[in-house]
Chain A
Amino acid sequence: MNQHFAKVCMTHVAWTIRDGQEIPGWNAQMESSTPSERKENELTQRILKLWERYKPLCLERLSVIEEAHTAASSTALDDELRGKAESAAHKLAGVLGSIGLPEGSNIASEIEALLQPGDTIAPGQLLHLSELVTNLRSQLTRGPAAHDDSSEML
Chain B
Amino acid sequence: MKIRSVKANNRKRVFEVRVGAALLPFPYSKAEPAPGPDELVVRVAIDAELAREAFGFELRSGRSGLVHVEQVLEYNQDPAYMRDLLLYKLTLEAQARVVASPLSKREIVRRLGTSAAQLYRLLDQTNYAKSIDQMVNLLRVLDCEVDLVVRARTA
Chains A and B come from one and the same complex: no
